[in-house]
Amino acid sequence: MHDGPQRKHTAISPYVLLFVVLLIAEIATWIIPAGEFDRIVKNGISFVVPHSLKSVPQHGIGLGAVFMAIANGMVASAPIIFLILFTGGALAVLEKTGAIKAALGRIGAGSNAQDVSVIVTVCIIFSLLGTIGVVTNSVVAFVPLGLLIARSLRLPAVFGVAFIYLGTYSGFNSGVLNPVTTGLSQRLAELPMFSGLAFRSAVYVLFVIATIGFLIVNVRAYRRNPQARRFLIAEHDLVTAGPVENSARLTRRQIAAIVFSVVALCIFVFGAVEMHWGEVEMISMFMIVAIGSGLICGVRPTQIADEFLAGSGKLVHGALIVGLARAISTVLSSGKILDPIVNLLSDMLAPLHPMMAAIGMFLSAAVMHIAISSGSGESAALIPIFAPLGDALHLTRQVTVQAVLLGEGIMNCFNPTSGVLMAVLATARIPYGQWVRFLIPLILLWSIISIAALIVGVLIHWGPF
């Protein structure tokens, strides 16, 4: 028997993973022939002109430009980076008040009934926020709350992330009333805004049911076998470090602090829907929550500042990765190779049967989302190309739009170039490989729902056109 020290396996850092992808993108700019579509601007939106691809001089990106892209990515991603940091600060102050510990302690028994009620409640709330576009990139701000919920139920961190992230994207995938994805895509396809609502709502319900079922099955599997490999997180388990005591009682001040925080969040949701508030307003809201809840519970101003900074510092690991991910799309676009890839995908779809073409559009959108991790950016690149192609293949434009939305939506949950996803995983210290292994059954289920929805859409000539 070998008694020497065993070599400890450590997961690859997400920063290393993204940097490798960035270098691959840099090399690709020297290999793939550069090209560019003509673009026109309508109502402030720039979109491509179909069949207008032309060759341009090769724009190979040098190594120095790669590091410039990282710096520019950090600057361009500043709103999301600071949103992540300020989320950690606000939650640290709330934890200092004892309000979160006392509130979550009430659900800490971990019975099957409580597991199901928490999963259903959280998934429905965040799926609704996701499908109307209130919570998309800002989902990262709620992940620390998911980790606290998981800890209160004595579940590992992967469930804390899954409750919030998968709940949100189960709604985002269908985009029932999302102006940034569905609204923009339909405008580009010259469809009436939010047309096809009934069919899209049915798809939304299927996604949510599948997600809730997936989470319930996995939580029950964990209860039966807590040592299962897919639930464990190397040496960084943030939610099982110790049980959450459920004996603490909420004081009046703590109740007031929780009510204050919930009211602030509701005001933000209203502002996001009615006045298109975004990351900047959410950052401001978290500052208000931190200061207000701290003062309500009698925390001294100096302690509020110290706790806020300490909490923000804990999330630096997850925040800066957003800028690194942004650098990948910057390199690809600067190298002028995105448009030739889109054109190649379009040529591959042209000879297919309508039903297979719809599925091909779905898969193409998923692949392109690796290079263009922005939903609105991908729609602006693909819809003007796919819409006339769909017309020629006798696909309704509604089906074409939904194929693109479903492809990019599902890819969001395991896209290694997504700054939001990598920030979420880095925040929870969950290795990317473990997350993908955990998620594979749900991705397959979501893909089946997507393909089935597209087939039905083709068969019923889902319109209005």
Q: Each residue of 240-281: pLDDT tens digit?
A: 444 444 445 778 998 899 899 889 988 987 887 788 788 888
Let me know: does 49 contact 343? Beta carbons within 8 Å.
Answer: no
Nearest C-alpha neighbor of 464 from the set 365, 418, 397: 397
- CA distance between the termini of the chain: 71
| 203: number of Cβ within 10 Å | 24
Phi first, then psi, for residue 79 (nearest 5°) are -60, -45
Would you put residue 164 in left (φ > 0), alpha (ψ -120 to 50) or beta?
A: alpha
Q: E strand or H helix at 55, and its extent?
A: strand 54-55
For residue 241, the Cα-to-chain-centroid distance in whole angstroms is 26
For residue 324, the Cα-to-chain-centroid distance in whole angstroms is 16
Q: How far apart are CA 423 and CA 321, in angstroms?
A: 6
Q: How far apart are CA 415 and CA 413, in angstroms?
A: 6
34-57 confidence digits (pLDDT tens): 998 887 776 665 667 777 888 999
Structure tokens at 456: 């039905």
DSSP-derived 3-state class of residue 54: strand
Nearest C-alpha neighbor of 383 from the set 99, 186, 112, 91: 186
Strand partners, 54: 36
What does the pLDDT read at residue 446? 97
Q: How far apart are CA 306 and CA 313, in angstroms?
A: 11
Let me know: does 268 contact 277? Beta carbons within 8 Å.
Answer: yes
Let me know: does 271 contact 246? Beta carbons within 8 Å.
Answer: no
DSSP-derived 3-state class of residue 347: helix
Q: How far apart are CA 71 and CA 59, in angstroms?
A: 20
Structure tokens at 2: 């070998």
What does the pLDDT read at residue 47? 62
Give me the residues of the chain with pLDDT under 50, please: 1-9, 109-110, 234-247
Q: E strand or H helix at 36, and its extent?
A: strand 35-36
Q: Are strands 45-48 and 39-42 parallel, antiparallel or unpaired?
A: antiparallel
What does the pLDDT read at residue 233? 57
DSSP-derived 3-state class of residue 335: coil
Q: How far apart are CA 345 and CA 52, in angstroms?
A: 15
DSSP-derived 3-state class of residue 39: strand
pTM for this entry: 0.80
User: Cβ neighbours of residue 206 under 8 Å, at least 6 residues apart?
Assistant: 449, 453
Q: How far apart are CA 173 and CA 202, in angstroms?
A: 12
What does the pLDDT read at residue 87? 83
Q: How far apart are CA 316 and CA 85, in angstroms?
A: 7
Q: How far apart are CA 59 and CA 62, in angstroms?
A: 9
Helix axes 321-334, 419-428, angle to 10 degrees: 160
